[in-house]
Amino acid sequence: MNLAENFSIVEAIQPQAGGAITGDYISLKKTGHVSVMVHITQATADVVAITLEQATAVAGTGSKALAVDVPIFLVADTATSDLLVAQTPGVAYTTLAAAKHKIVVFEVPAEALDLANGFDCLTVKTAASHASNLTSAVYICGLRRYGAESLIVD
């Protein structure tokens, strides 16, 4: 399957260091599923806590924690493996303190959001970590409902 023709890739967090980070919000009105892929270059032995939040608009309106557990996968050391290993489902994940390059993937169906109360937007956040730890994230969206419409607008 061709990635460029069948999925949308949206930057969530541009590569940056250390502090608490809130990624860009995307609307799930136009997609049935998003994979949130977080890449961490953990240069020091400080953990990185990652959470998912939902909102009622891409401006972050009424943001609150995602309440439904979703599948989480991890590559704990990209220098030694490329295999994603299932972790305990949840709405957050905290890396171990080992200084490694890591990939964490959350698999989020649109139904995991509080749709009944108008929550149809999603973001990824990281808590403050050491300034030497770099984080970036992308949303990989499939199952487009209405063709090639933008996910970064309501």
125 pLDDT exceeds 70? yes
In a domain, 6, yes or no: no
Give me the pLDDT at residue 23, please: 95
Instruction: Give backbone dihedrals phi and psi of 8, rounded to 5 degrees, phi first.
Output: -105, 140
Q: Quick one: pLDDT band at residue 35, thresholds 50, 70, 90?
A: very high
Q: What average pLDDT does this structure show over 61-87?
A: 96
What the block records as the tokens of 5 is 């023709």
DSSP-assigned letter for residue 119: -
145 pLDDT exceeds 80? no
Per the structure, the complete domain to which residue 115 belongs is given by 14-137
In a domain, 145, yes or no: no
What the block records as the tokens of 4 is 């460029």
Give me the pLDDT at residue 29, please: 86
The domain spanning residue 102 has which CATH number? 2.60.120
